[in-house]
Each structure stands twice: as C-alpha cells, then as structure tokens.
Structure 1
Amino acid sequence: MTETDLVVAVLAGIVQGIVEWLPVSSQGNLSLFLSIAGTDPAVALQLALFLQLGTTVSAATYYREDIALATRSLPGWRPQRAYAEENALVSYIVVACLLTGIVGIPLYIFAVDLAGQLTGGVFIAAIGVLLILTGVVQIASESVSMGGRETPTLLDSVLVGAVQGLAILPGISRSGMTSSALLFRSYDPPAAFRLSFLLSIPASIGAAALTVTSSGGLPGISPTAALVALSVSAVVGYLTIDLLMRVVERIPFWFVCFGLGGLAVVGGGLVSVFVQPA
C-alpha cells in the first residue's frame, strides 16, 4: 500500500464514519470522493458499499441493547404472532431485508454495469441528480403529521425494505429513504431513525457480501487499505453517531441534499466538458 493509498483509505473511512448517519447518502458521497480521488466509477460504487461494514460495527455497538432484545425474543417467535409487540422487531428486520434483496440485487447489477460505461463527470452528475431526488422525498416526509407509532407492521416492513433496496443506487440515501418512509407511516422521528439504523446492520453486511462475491474479492482495494478504511469508519462512526442523531433533529437535511446534489451536477458537467478521457 502506497502512502497515497493510505491517505485515501483514512479519508474514505472518515467520510463514511460521518455521513452514514446523515440522510444525505453515504454511498453517494463516498462514491463522489473516491471518483474525485481517481477511482474508476464502477469500483467506487462497489467500494462505497463495502466500506459500510465499518459503520455497521458502530451501529451494532450503539444499538446493542435493541439487538439483544430482538435476539432474546427469537425462541418465542411464532408465525401467527409475528407482529405481536414482542416479535415485531425481529419480523420487521427479516421481512424488510428480504424485500431489500429482491429490489436491491437487480439494481446493483444494473448500477455497476452502468457505472462502468460512464465517464467520471457523468457519474458524478448522476449521483447529484439522485441526491436532489432524496432531498425532494425528505421535504415531502417533513410535511406529514406525526402519529406517535413505534411498533412496525407487515406493511411497514415491506415498504421500508423495498425503499432500502432502491438505496443501492449511489446518491439515494438509505437512511433518508427508510426514515422518510416511516415518517410517511406516522412514526415519530426518534422511532423512525432507530428502526432505520437497526435495519442498516444486516443490509450493510449483505451489501458488502454482494460486492465481494460479484467482484471475486475485495473491490479495487488492498487488504491493508481496506482494514484501515474500515477501522477508521468504525471509530469515527461510533464517536459521531450520538452527536449527529441530535443534529438530525435540528437541520433540514433536504437542504444539504440539494446543495451537495447541485454541486455534483455542476461539477460533473464541468468535468465532462473540460476533462477528456484518456
């Protein structure tokens, strides 16, 4: 691993560790960073998915009590009482992950193939458009009145799992889309973010496994660089999750999506015009 690779790995871990908790697409922003750093667009997409493993460790540590509660309920789980209060969390995670796979795997294959055909500038601009779309969804969800719901239903599981599958596309915020879907279903913001982040744990593990399987190994990164990036993202993610959860309640992140998305569209257009492919 060269000194440049080390710097990129550390910076990638920092970016992932911070933006994972914000509804502004960690995958999109990390793909942007890696593309700007000179990574091929298709590889940048795969790396952005793989490096979510680091913040998965952070989320699992932060929500360890919820995970323990769900684990203890497993022996008593019965299909006829799948969405009874004591079983609802386990059922929600299982059904939502199933829908995520059904929607997300075909989109992943399409996205990697498409990214491989795009120039760097067009890829950056495409991420910008999807970031703006995420902002539109967040504006719409903020207009919905909160009903105080906390326990997920089968419909919630199917809906959230499907929109999480869409987040395989860089620029579509996983946390933004899933929490917005829960807000549309009349959940209070704290409950919506809790259910969103709990679902991110198995989803991120599955996404990382998918990238490793499809690329035949670590996607475009050395084992040492991967370990550095994952370690940095895990540490930064754990240190920032509580702070950023409080910030989420105060800042309209649709504004952040519009700002980053607009810059990406303009910047990608300029790159396409002034930077010729080799």
Structure 2
Amino acid sequence: MNLTEAVIIGIVQGITEWLPVSSEAVITLILTQVLGTDPGQALNASIFLHTGTMIAAFLYFRKEYTEIIKYCLNKALKPQEILDNPRKLTQEENGRLTIFLGSSTALTGIIGATIYFTGIKAAVQNPTIFYILMSAALFMTGILRLYNKSESREYSSVNLKDSIFVGILQGFSIIPGVSRSGTTAFGFLFREFDARSAFHLSFLMSVPAVAAGSIGLELFTEFNFQPIYLVSAAVAGIVGYLTVDAVLEIADRAEIAWICFALGILALLPTII
C-alpha cells in the first residue's frame, strides 16, 4: 500500500465509521479486492484503523469523558465527597455511564475474543467461507437497520441491563460485515432509547471497546503491522472528527440498509468470479 492508497483508505474509514454499514467490511473489501491484501491481514488492518476514529470519538465526546474520569478519580480518592456532593443527580448520571462503559466493554471483549479465536481465524484461511460470512453479516446489518422503533429514554438513564444487552451485541461486531454502530444503535432502540441517545451511547461506548481491541490485536494476534497503517489511522482520525456531525445527520436513515445489502452482494462476488 502506497501513500496515496493509505490516505484514501483513511478517508473511507473516517467517513464510514459513523455509518451503520460496517467500516470493517468496507476496508477489508478494498484491501483484499483492490489492493490484493491477504484476508487475515486485511481484517486485522481494518481493526487497527479504528484507532484513528477512536481518537476522533474521544475528542468529540471529550466533555463526557472528562466528567467520567473526574468521577472515577474523585470516587477513588475522595469517596465521601461524592456522597455529600449536592449535585447528586449529575454524579449519579456519571456513575451510570461509568458502570455502563466498564461492563459493556468487558462483555464486548469476552464475546469478541471468543468469536475471533474460535471462528474468524479459521474463516480467513478459506477465502470463500470468509466472503460468504462477510456477506451474510452485511445483510444482517441491513435488516437490523430497518428497525427504527424508538421511545423516549435518554442516554443518562442507561443501566446495567442495557450494558449487558448492548455489550454482548457489540462483541459480534468483530465479525466483518457486522456494523458496530448499527448493531449497538439497534440494541439501544430495542431498549426504548430515543434515536439521538441511541447513537450518542453507541459512539460513546466505541472508545474503550476499540482501545481494548487494538491492545488485544497487538498482544494476541499475528498482526503484521506496517508503518503505513499509521498514515491511514491518522487520516481516519482527522476526517472522522471533521465529518462526524454531518455523517450522523444521515446515519439514522433507513436507506442506509440498502447500502448494506449492496455491500453484501459485492462481498459475494469474489466467490463466483
């Protein structure tokens, strides 16, 4: 992959990360079908590129994360101050979000690692199975995107049941074609959150999940890291931060499902050509 290709890959990642169409599948398809990368390496590279958009998400939600970090530090260093704080409602909300992020990330890691090491590693050894799996996952993502029911719950009301349900769903996003944002947004809508809160929570929980995934990728897989991937990740972070507001305006549109279906068909082409 040369510099121009790395920049293009970064731009694609930076935009598709916010859409419920599985940026992992899009990047994997480009790397394998256009640049001729081995499926296993392409999949690991697509996972690594989420590091850039993870930083973008952290910066975008920096106020929430700053409050959560302050809450954790205060609770560890001055627990009585938390109990006596007159802004109890705000502290309670921060506590809810802290528990939500911690428990959902843990469940995501357990489910994701299990799927990766028991299924995905075997699938990438057989390109036909790998592309069929990706196609099926994209079609499933599209079907989930057609679910548009929403209620009136706001993100500050998130609880442990929400974190368990959505954390498990997020773990399945390790499968190429399963959109992390699309699956988790579906989970929140199913749990009766309003659409804005669903996407807010979806991207808020992406930061610790992607951070854990990147660490696991380096420690427990045979990822052949290449310095050029840093260029793609950096571009993805910049583009992601600059486009998140614009892209989120269309992320909740049901028409996105048809993009998933089209990508699912494209994923099948290598198996019949």
Q: How does 1:14-25 map to 2 (within 5 A)?
A: 14-25=11-22
Q: Which amino acid aligns with 1:157?
A: S
Q: What CA distance in whole angstroms lies between the structure 2 residues aligned with 1:176 and 1:70?
A: 25
Equivalent residue, structure 1, for 2:224: 220
Identity %: 35
Match of 2:112 among 104, 115, 118: 104
Q: How far apart are 1:113 and its partner, in Å? A: 1.9
Q: What CA distance in whole angstroms lies between the structure 2 residues aligned with 1:268 and 1:126?
A: 12
Q: Indicate how the Cα distance of structure 1 residues 63 and 89 shifts in structure 2: closer, same or farther if over 3 A, else same.
A: same
Mean CA deviation greater in 199-208 or 107-116? 107-116
CA displacement, residues 197-217 of structure 1 (integer Å, 9 cap, x when unaligned): 01100111111111111235x
CA displacement, residues 1-44 of structure 1 (integer Å, 9 cap, x when unaligned): xxx43233222211211110000111111111111111111111
Contact 1:135 1:253 in 2 (8 A): yes
- Classify the secondary structure of the residue corresponding to 2:93: coil
Contact 1:125 1:268 in 2 (8 A): no
CA displacement, residues 176-195 of structure 1 (integer Å, 9 cap, x when unaligned): 01110000000011111111
Q: Which amino acid aligns with 1:105?
A: A
Q: What CA distance in whole angstroms lies between the structure 1 residues aligned with 2:3 and 2:94?
A: 46
Equivalent residue, structure 2, for 1:209: 215
Contact 1:122 1:268 in 2 (8 A): no
Equivalent residue, structure 2, for 1:241: 244
Q: How does 1:1-278 map to 2 (within 5 A)?
A: 4-36=1-33, 37-74=35-72, 75-76=74-75, 84-119=92-127, 121-139=128-146, 141-142=147-148, 144-150=149-155, 151-215=157-221, 219-223=223-227, 225-265=228-268, 267-271=269-273
Q: How far apart are 1:145 and its partner, in Å? A: 4.1
TM-score, length-scaled by structure 2: 0.88
Matched residue count: 259
Q: Which amino acid aligns with 2:263?
A: L
Q: Which amino acid aligns with 2:105?
A: C
TM-score, length-scaled by structure 1: 0.87
Q: Indicate how the Cα distance of structure 1 residues 12 and 101 shifts in structure 2: closer, same or farther if over 3 A, else same.
A: same
Q: Displaced runs of 4+ in structure 1, greater than 6 A? A: none
Q: Which amino acid aligns with 1:123?
A: F
Q: Which amino acid aligns with 1:171?
A: G
Q: What CA distance in whole angstroms lies between the structure 1 residues aligned with 2:98 and 2:151?
A: 24
Gaps of 5+ in 1: 272-278
Q: Indicate how the Cα distance of structure 1 residues 101 and 226 shifts in structure 2: closer, same or farther if over 3 A, else same.
A: same
